[in-house]
Amino acid sequence: MRRGAPWLLVVLAALALVLLLSVGVGARPIPLGRVWSLVWRPDGSSDAAIVHDLRIPRTLLGLMVGAALGVAGALMQALTRNPLADPGLLGVNAGAAAAVVTATTLLGTVDPLAYIWFAFLGAAVASVVVYGIGTAGRSGATPVRLALAGTAVSIALIAYVEGLTIVDREALDQYRFWAVGALGGHPGSLNAQIAPFILAGLVLAVALGRPLNAIGLGEDSGRALGARLVRTRVLGAVAITVLCGAATAAVGPIAFVGLAVPHVARAITGPDERLVLPLSAAIAPVMLLGADVVGRVVNRPGELEVGIVSALAGAPVFIAIVRRRRIAQL
């Protein structure tokens, strides 16, 4: 912890800055000083309405979704001991998308709260299938295998979604906006709907820090801990499903946040999961909200969805990891 202390301050400062920017920057130019005073003393003006009813809820949504994705990514990487694990890469997002689009097409569901349950189901099924394929054979789930299995399952699911959206045009119209993760344009009630799921997932994940450290020591020494290993894995999988499912149902699939953030967290604290998990929860919103603010600015008067910005920013990180490590480690 000691060697990470100055960095921890930097992370917290960055988080504070990005929260400020997210409340201060938008389609309507409002001077930052005025925004600041409106935050504390809403005066009933339309500027106050924009700050309190649009920007603050959007920022809180980004905070929650970012934390969920970052922690889910850290959990995945710890559980599978796989530096390439990411909900987007391991088919979890595609599973949630396929389940949601199926529900929209067959049942005509549009209620975000109903989305969540279908997203949970799809995310859970897809992760089990990917993990099952990746662990086939004696040598177990290597990072490369999980990534490839995730790619295969994602491609099949995405082709399925494409087929459905061609048969049902209304589904296409909804899907193609949802397919690009976005923080804007959600009803104010969405935050309250997903908050319980994300909070529960975060608490569960952070509580798993100590047992995850045992797994990190290696499969064999971990095995001595016996049943706790199984329990940790099951609880970890539940936490991942809840976090990814809720985040994906709320704002659509967002890839690479869960991949890149844990690497940054580990670089700061070292491999202690008790610290990596909460730190990921702090760093991920910086990346997500930062990408969101960039998206609001670069494409004025329109907006660039956060899912696009984060993929364009996160994929190079992924490629850098792949290039840096020796293949034997991968």
Only one of the segments 13-21, 75-83, 264-272, 318-326 lies at the binding site for another protein (rule: CB under 8 A); that segment is: 318-326
Contacts to another protein from residues 256-285, by CB under 8 A: 256
Q: How far apart are CA 266 and CA 277, in angstroms?
A: 9
Instruction: Establish if 255 lies at the interface with another protein (CB under 8 A).
Output: yes
Contacts to another protein from residues 295-314, by CB under 8 A: 301-305, 307-308, 311-312
Contacts to another protein from residues 157-186, by CB under 8 A: 157-160, 162-163, 165-167, 169-170, 172-173, 176-177, 179-180, 182, 184-186
Left, alpha or beta for 44 (phi > 0: left; psi -120 to 50: alpha)?
Answer: left
Only one of the segments 143-151, 210-218, 223-231, 235-243 lies at the binding site for another protein (rule: CB under 8 A); that segment is: 143-151
Instruction: Establish if 211 lies at the interface with another protein (CB under 8 A).
Output: no
Give, to the nearest 10 degrees, the angle between helix 112-134 and helix 227-251: 140
Shortest Cβ 108–another protein spacing (Å): 10
Place of tokens 């459905």: 164
Say which residues have a Cβ less than 8 Å from residue 31's Cβ, sequence separation at least 6.
none
Any idea what DSSP says for residue 217?
T
| CB crowding 34-67: b at 16 or more within 10 Å, else e | ebeebbeeeeeeebbebbeebbbbbbbbbbbbbb
Shortest Cβ 249–another protein spacing (Å): 13
Number of H helices, E strands in the chain: 15, 0
Shortest Cβ 119–another protein spacing (Å): 16
List 6, 33, 187, 226, residue binding another protein (CB under 8 A) = 187
Instruction: Establish if 316 lies at the interface with another protein (CB under 8 A).
Output: yes
CA-nearest of 64, 95, 63, 87 to 240 is 87
Only one of the segments 25-33, 117-125, 218-226, 275-283 lies at the binding site for another protein (rule: CB under 8 A); that segment is: 25-33
Contacts to another protein from residues 52-81, by CB under 8 A: 52-54
Give, to the nearest 10 degrees, the angle between helix 257-269 and helix 5-24: 140
CA-nearest of 70, 75, 30, 67 to 50 is 30
Tokens of 160: 């399925």
Smaller CB separation from another protein, 47 or 272: 47
List 40, 41, 46, 329, residue binding another protein (CB under 8 A) = 46
Instruction: Establish if 144 lies at the interface with another protein (CB under 8 A).
Output: yes
